[in-house]
Amino acid sequence: MNELRYHFMYKEREAVSHKIIIQLMDFKEGILVRGSMDQLLNMKNEQLRSDIQSQWDYIKNSPILGEEI
The string of pLDDT tens digits covering residues 2-61 is 689 999 999 999 999 999 999 999 999 999 999 999 999 999 999 999 999 999 999 999
Strand 6-13's sheet: what is its strand order? 31-36, 20-26, 6-13, 64-65
Per-residue confidence band for 67, with pLDDT thresholds at 50, 70 and 90? confident
Rounded to two decimals, the pTM is 0.85
Count of other CB atoms within 10 angstroms of residue 8: 18
Count of other CB atoms within 10 angstroms of residue 44: 6
